[in-house]
Chain A
Amino acid sequence: MRFAELRNTERELRAFQVRLGAAGLAVLVAFALLLARFVWLQVLQHDAYSAKAEENRIAIVPLPPNRGLILDRNGEVLASNYLAYTLEIFPARVRDLEGTIAELAAFVDIQPRDRARFRKLLQETKNAESLPIRTRLSDEEVARIAANRWRFTGVDIKARLFRRYPYGEVASHVIGYIGRITTSDLEQLEEMEVAANYRGTDYIGKAGIEASYQQELHGVTGFERVEIDAAGRAADRGIQTLQPPTPAQPGNNVALTLDIRLQEVAERAFGKWRGALVAIEPATGGVLAFVSKPGYDPNLFVDGIDPQSWEELMSSPDRPLNNRAIAGLYPPGSTFKPYMALAALELGKRTPRTTISDPGYFVFGDRRFRDSKRGGHGTVDMYKSIVLSSDVYYYMLANDMGIDAIAGFMKRFGFGARTGIDLEGEAEGVLPSPEWKLARFSRPEQQRWYAGETISIGIGQGYNAYTPLQLAQALATLANNGAMFRPRLVSHVDNPRTGARGYFEPQLVRQVQLRPEHVAFVKQAMAGVNTEGTAARSFAGAQYTSGGKTGTAQVVGLKQGEKYEEDKVDERLRDHSLYIAFAPLEGPKIALAVLVENGGFGARTAAPIARTVLDYFLLGKLPTAPRRPVPEAVVQSDAESD
């Protein structure tokens, strides 16, 4: 037994040594395997992993460009940038937002509107970025927060460029405003494949030139390589030196054709009235003044509008955010008549000498179309029909021409078509025609064009609906003897770095073929309006020649035989006052359309505004006192009708 055990022990020892050898071999194999892996990672795949380590280490931080300025035609700055400190919260890094804001309120003044605006921004922006709780901190506030920064996480003071609109409400509908980039803006940028250029940019043009020239104004985003740690924070000390940053290229400065002084004169001339004015340089299509009243203060939007101000703007019955000059649709009223006259001449339906008898009404079928002057104008030729604004003359003319001829002619002057101005949100308007009616309505009896409907089209009523811009463009075309230019607000853009300037050449839309003597006749008649006709009182003593036409657009239709009595009608249901004018008569430098909502007779409110604007534009004459509307009694006796 003892021997057997010894023999076993011997065997066990040998077995152990074999096992130990096997284990040693296994160790060698395992280490060889590790070595192979190290060679694979550190030699063969080294470049790939180096690149990944660099990717980890380096964050590309965008350097957003400075937004370009907006200038008027004389270089006056309409939108600029300034540096200000903001107090910002990084919502993703703050556990208790309300608590943090409450604590911050101990160091800086945080108004309820600041909180409301912050909440609104928080809802609108989904990705975690820093949002301002207070903007435009005073130096003292900056110092106070800086001293207590250790108390807060996810709170930072940042120096940011803000937009300033030094003219406030003036030209607000032209300049527009910028606002924070929302999720839907971002989607749009992605669709346009320019989203990368907006990394680091918080603001984007929302309205006006700020929106339509966004790409020009924005510039090119630069970038910088920054070493970061795993949490994405900038590393305290560099491990390796980094490439120099690629600087941002600032946005282009955009120079308008607009004259801000003229704009101010025009806006002041409106006083409390709501309405619109568009003044165009006929030879180029450049817009000289562009008014939509009331306006708004675009500075409100710059750092995120607070909900209360937004609510006020949205709920105001005056609709200050509505750009009446391009989106408001109004019947042209009697300002349509010069084009009707021109159409009659061109189509051979009338000669200047053809006369009609105006008894104060026109009968069509069993309907009676009234003239605005009781008893009518008696014997009326074409000149008189424009100067005194006879309705009956144009009732008859419209009936003789027919709707197709009217629509065909007016279309050439751009009525009922977008002008293509460099602003967003332009309305199309309505140039009435049988085709339009067919497309517009669904029921067969509504789709039919009735001959009776043509009658009121002749005096610019009925379905007629155009933007003030269209009225101005049509007049500019007439003043320019048929050469129609696309209206535009921007004359050129400047690269602030290189000084390179890019002009936008005038764009001829079409040349309306007209007989010169016909155009000359209509212009002469429009000159008569200002010297001896409905606008004579407004243009008394003018030191330049001009042509014009007054107009009144009904807001509510009158029943058969009903008389319009201004005093008895609610203010917002009163007629709109219109006036179109160009000056001087030879080689016109300016053509404008004025609309005053609920302003009554065109001669009373719209024409004096136009006079003020023309006086300033042509003579540099500032109105000495706010120009009052011409007293009603004078208009009635002087012009009698319109």
Chain B
Amino acid sequence: MEIAGYPLRRLRARVLEGIDPTLFALALALSLVGLGVLYSASYENASRVASQLANLAVALAAMWAVAQVPPQTLARFALPAYCAGIALLAAVALGGEVVNGARRWLNLGVMRFQPSEMMKIAMPMMLAWYFHRREGAIRLRDFAVAGVLLALPVALIARQPDLGTALLVAAAGFYVIFLAGVSWRLLAGLAVLALASLFPLWGLLHDYQRRRILTLLDPSQDPLGAGYHTIQSTIAVGSGGIAGKGWLNGSQTHLEFIPERHTDFIFAVFSEEFGLVGNVLLLALYALLIARGLAIAAQAATLFGRLLAGSVTLVFFTYAFVNMGMVAGILPVVGVPLPFISYGGTALATLYVGIGLLMSIQRHRKLIQT
């Protein structure tokens, strides 16, 4: 059998080239779980599932494309992508569209574009590229430069305000710096400094951000306002029990008690319907995905690859931990989706680009060693 002159077997080989089967299987498994939960969260209305399916197709294509690009080529995009990202963030700050009180979107005429999303990839690439260039001669000064490179976009995103994305971008950058070997003492010192600066920072926070932090400490303070999300999602999780209420049978979900049940709070839907058993399986899937990512990082050929793979993987972890922690009521409510499961095209594409990066790094792990 041939397609456009290509034998089918060779075509399949060409398509599958560079696709890490373990990583792909794990990510796809999570996405399929996500589609099932989404079906329940949208009250068995298939149109939202179909739309997410389309998002998934786009994301997979992006993953495949990125996986085909060797890390050295990727590294060349690091600086331009970073600079473009900073420019776009500046443009948003000056003339972005305001949605729900936050200035996050850039209207490109045909579509609205969220530059902060692209920073989730551009940030670790930029820092990994920077440290890679300084390989063998990394000094304190380099960490200082990296710190500034990180702080600038994070500050711009936090100002929008988009605390969730700022947190993820900051995490991505921090993981690179951490993996590049910044001294423990410096880290400890920074931690102390960060704690000390909490009080003046408090003054810079928006009211709603302060309220979110305060209601985390005691959600019952504001059961109908900011605390409502946490109270209802905690009830959903707790009432799920060990075995869960069964798919499509979550009363908290189906009677509209869970807010944002398609996106940031989709884990409450999952947890209510699949219980502790489901949660353990989901944690296991994430753990395996992270383990695979860390293994790729450990085997990567270059410092760029190591740092980038490590950072991307740990960002997956950050997504999962912050989101589940928020739904389970141990972390404040910040806009962080559950990776591969929450509804939303941009976030899904970003995640699969990350998977693509890992695949590319994994595929080219032996290039320099030979």
A-B interaction: yes
- Confirm or deny: B65 has a beta carbon within 8 angstroms of a beta carbon on chain A: no
Verify B280–A6 contact, CB threshold 8 A: no
Q: Which residues of A contact B298 (CB under 8 A)?
A: 17, 20
Identify which of residues 154-199 in chain B touch chain A, using a CB-to-CB cut-off of 8 Å: 175, 178-181
Q: Given A31, A33, A42, A53, which contacts B287 in the complex, CB threshold below 8 Å?
A: A31
Verify A50–B303 contact, CB threshold 8 A: no
- Confirm or deny: B314 has a beta carbon within 8 angstroms of a beta carbon on chain A: yes
Q: Which residues of A contact B137 (CB under 8 A)?
A: 5, 8
Which stretch from B27-35, B200-208, B232-240, B359-367 is at the chain A interface? B232-240
Q: Is the interface of A mostly helix, strand, loop or mixed?
A: helix
- Confirm or deny: B58 has a beta carbon within 8 angstroms of a beta carbon on chain A: no
Verify A8–B136 contact, CB threshold 8 A: yes
Q: Which residues of A contact B236 (CB under 8 A)?
A: 53
Q: How far is the CA of A39 from the CA of B283 in the complex (A)?
A: 13
CB distance from A23 to the nearest CB of B (A): 6
Q: How far is the CA of A20 from the CA of B236 in the complex (A)?
A: 35
Verify A12–B310 contact, CB threshold 8 A: no
Which bracket fits the contact residues of B?
35 or more
* Contact code string A7-47 (vs B, CB < 8 Å = 1, else 0): 01100100111011001100110110111011101110110
Q: How far is the CA of A280 from the CA of B135 in the complex (A)?
A: 114
Contact A49 to B179, CB < 8 A, known contacts A23-B314, A231-B256: no
- Confirm or deny: B294 has a beta carbon within 8 angstroms of a beta carbon on chain A: yes
* Contact code string B297-308 (vs A, CB < 8 Å = 1, else 0): 110000100110
Q: Which residues of B contact A37 (CB under 8 A)?
A: 325, 328-330
Query: Can you name the residue of chain B whose Cβ is closest to the Cβ of A240?
Result: B251
Which bracket fits the contact residues of A?
35 or more
- Confirm or deny: B151 has a beta carbon within 8 angstroms of a beta carbon on chain A: no
Q: Which residues of A contact B283 (CB under 8 A)?
A: 31, 34-35
Verify B237–A20 contact, CB threshold 8 A: no
Q: Which residues of A contact B136 (CB under 8 A)?
A: 4-6, 8-9, 12
- Confirm or deny: B254 has a beta carbon within 8 angstroms of a beta carbon on chain A: yes
- Confirm or deny: B110 has a beta carbon within 8 angstroms of a beta carbon on chain A: no
Interface contact tally, CB-CB below 8 A: 144
Which stretch from A159-167, A222-230, A414-422, A484-492 is at the chain B interface? A222-230
Q: How far is the CA of A325 from the CA of B92 in the complex (A)?
A: 83
Q: How far is the CA of A557 from the CA of B254 in the complex (A)?
A: 80
Query: Can you name the residue of chain A whose Cβ is closest to the Cβ of B306?
Result: A16
- Confirm or deny: A235 has a beta carbon within 8 angstroms of a beta carbon on chain B: yes
Verify B310–A23 contact, CB threshold 8 A: yes
Q: Given B242, B251, B310, B314, which contacts A53 in the complex, CB threshold below 8 Å?
A: B251
Q: How far is the CA of A46 from the CA of B272 in the complex (A)?
A: 11
Q: Which residues of B contact A319 (CB under 8 A)?
A: none
- Confirm or deny: B113 has a beta carbon within 8 angstroms of a beta carbon on chain A: no
Verify B237–A27 contact, CB threshold 8 A: no
CB distance from A15 to the nearest CB of B (A): 4
CB distance from B268 to the nearest CB of A (A): 11
Query: Can you name the residue of chain B whose Cβ is closest to the Cβ of A58?
Result: B251
Verify B254–A239 contact, CB threshold 8 A: yes
Verify B239–A46 contact, CB threshold 8 A: yes
Verify B280–A34 contact, CB threshold 8 A: no
- Confirm or deny: B138 has a beta carbon within 8 angstroms of a beta carbon on chain A: yes
CB distance from A71 to the nearest CB of B (A): 46
Contact A20 to B310, CB < 8 A, known contacts A12-B138, A38-B237, A46-B238: yes
- Confirm or deny: A56 has a beta carbon within 8 angstroms of a beta carbon on chain B: yes
Q: Which residues of B contact A17 (CB under 8 A)?
A: 298
Q: How far is the CA of A50 from the CA of B244 in the complex (A)?
A: 11
Q: Which residues of A contact B314 (CB under 8 A)?
A: 23, 27
Q: Which residues of A contact B179 (CB under 8 A)?
A: 16, 19-20, 23
Q: How far is the CA of A402 from the CA of B360 in the complex (A)?
A: 122
* Given contact pairs A20-B310, A23-B178, A50-B239, a sample of 5 additional A-B residue pairs in the complex whose CB atoms are under 8 Å apart: A8-B136, A34-B279, A42-B275, A50-B241, A53-B236
| Sampled A-B contacts (16; CB under 8 Å) | A12-B136, A12-B181, A20-B310, A23-B178, A23-B314, A31-B286, A31-B287, A33-B325, A42-B237, A42-B242, A46-B238, A53-B238, A53-B251, A227-B255, A239-B254, A239-B255
| Nearest 4 Cβ contacts at the A-B interface | A49-B238, A5-B136, A53-B239, A15-B181
